[in-house]
Amino acid sequence: MKIAIASDHAAVALKAELREWLIEEGHEVADLGPDTAESVDYPNYGYMLAGVVADGTVERGIGLCGSGIGISMALNRNPDVRCALVSEPASARLCREHNDANVIAMGARLIGPDMAKACIEAFLKTEFEGGRHQRRVDKLSNPS
């Protein structure tokens, strides 16, 4: 699967570990940065990640910042992105099953690498149920 991953400075180390793990798992990974822990603005990286998800360059996205909150807000400004902030596998599974999430966000200061990997695994392996959920998901991009 083609996956893009982006973070802010607070999550650079977690991003690097997750990128390497995803590659080992056989995924094609686009690391959108940053490359150092020098202070950056999470909206810039959220918007960049949202762009490649929305235009179909990648199938799924992973956004990381200190809490996961800021980058998830930036990602969800794009009407073609459905980003869920997750901290355990059940939420990662449900955001796919019920909400057709195409991006997950996590907080590097709140989640360890093993839990982050478990969340990503659930997110990537779960299919959207469709059916009764489709009408609701459609309203996320077209509220009228």
Q: Decide if 95 is catalytic.
A: no
Residues facing 6 on adjacent strands: 63
Say what the pTM is.
0.96
Taking only the tens of pLDDT, the chain with its 144 residues reads: 999 999 999 999 999 999 999 999 999 999 999 999 999 999 999 999 999 999 999 999 999 999 999 999 999 999 999 999 999 999 999 999 999 999 999 999 999 999 999 999 999 999 997 888 888 888 887 766
Q: Decide if 133 is catalytic.
A: no
Backbone phi and psi for residue 103, each to the nearest 5 degrees, phi listed first:
-145, 145
Separation in Å, CA 31 to CA 42, 84, 92? 14, 19, 21
**Which positions ≥6 away from 55 have C-beta within 8 Å?**
none
* Binding-site annotation, residues: 8-9, 66-70, 99, 109, 132, 136
* 3 state SS of 18: helix
- E strand or H helix that includes residue 64: strand 60-65
One of 27, 65, 95, 119 is an active-site residue; which one?
Answer: 65
CATH code reported for the domain at 2-141:
3.40.1400.10
Which pLDDT value is given to residue 144?
A: 66
Which pLDDT value is given to residue 55?
A: 98
* Binding-site annotation, residues for D-ribulose 5-phosphate: 8-9, 66-70, 99, 109, 132, 136
